């Protein structure tokens, strides 16, 4: 079976899982994937958001964690002066407050504080995070609000342009798990006002940008016409994935033992406990350009332990 990823420019109004479901049904009608093949995505986008969605299938799904935890980049519009219950345009306005007349430089000065200083972000009630096994959005829809613990988030870029007197265009680069809705609200708070996201577009996910993506309708049409997978420009085979990760060149014996199913507890004896000096949480083990295994950093220092082996 062919394995890899499809790079989709997610349209507005559909969930990320909805995109995956549509692709699964379309791909099953072709002879290059078997019934019941695995498929998933590398990072959720809200229904109102658009942009880069990495859809992994076959052995590519073993890279899901690596893509979920990768750096993402977004642009969009922030509507000033009004806060919604969801933090986005799908919600109801719950409070309004006049916005200050700041110039672009002043907004950018405020935005830079998120980059240069520690940023503790409180997850929104309308989110999939769970409390005692219950998703926060379930509690929110029941009219309940609970205390949430703030989480330290890394914002590597946050730039602002004035769109109108009451709206801002932005670009933000951040680590996984950052809520851009909350980032917009927190920026407004530092300016003494309120805000919500008017639009959101993911422009990059790890090593993939919008230029790498195809539209969902075009991709579905490709499968409907039973064209070869290799003719789809937005398809990436397994060995071309995860180029954003540190690459470990495995020796002949290491690769063979991994293929034979070396157990994690036997890694030290087999030489598969690897040391690297890098910031990445994951590393990809290859042998002559072929993906062999995914390694994950241990909690201490720069040691990487085997997580997944590719068949």
* Gap between the Cα atoms of 27 and 38, Å rounded: 11
Residues designated as active site: 46
């Amino acid at each position: 079976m062919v394995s890899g990823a499809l790079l989709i420019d997610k349209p507005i109004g559909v969930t990320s899982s909805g995109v995956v479901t549509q692709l699964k049904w379309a791909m099953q009608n072709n002879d290059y994937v078997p019934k019941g093949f695995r498929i998933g995505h590398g990072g959720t986008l809200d229904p109102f958001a658009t942009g880069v969605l990495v859809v992994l299938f076959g052995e590519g799904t073993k890279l899901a964690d690596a893509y979920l935890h990768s750096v993402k980049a977004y642009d969009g519009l922030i509507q000033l002066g009004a806060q919604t219950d969801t933090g986005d345009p799908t919600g109801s306005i719950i409070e309004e407050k006049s916005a200050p007349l700041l110039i672009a430089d002043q907004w950018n000065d405020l935005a830079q504080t998120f980059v240069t200083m520690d940023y503790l972000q409180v997850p929104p009630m309308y989110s999939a995070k769970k409390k005692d096994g219950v998703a926060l959005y379930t509690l929110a829809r029941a009219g309940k609000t609970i205390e949430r613990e703030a989480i330290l988030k890394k914002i590597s870029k946050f730039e602002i342009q004035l769109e109108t007197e009451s709206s801002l265009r932005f670009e933000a680069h951040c680590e996984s798990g950052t809520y851009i809705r909350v980032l917009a609200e927190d920026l407004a708070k530092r300016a003494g006002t309120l805000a919500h996201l008017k639009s959101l577009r993911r422009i990059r996910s790890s090593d993939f940008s919008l230029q790498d993506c195809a539209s969902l309708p075009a991709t579905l049409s490709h499968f409907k016409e039973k064209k070869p997978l290799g003719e789809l420009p937005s398809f990436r085979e397994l060995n071309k994935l995860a180029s954003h990760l540190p690459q470990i060149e495995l020796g002949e014996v290491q690769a063979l033992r991994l293929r034979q199913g070396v157990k994690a507890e036997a890694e030290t004896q087999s030489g598969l406990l690897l040391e690297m000096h890098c910031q990445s949480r994951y590393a990809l083990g290859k042998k002559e350009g072929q993906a062999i295994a995914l390694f994950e950093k241990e909690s201490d220092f720069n040691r990487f332990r085997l997580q997944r082996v590719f068949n």
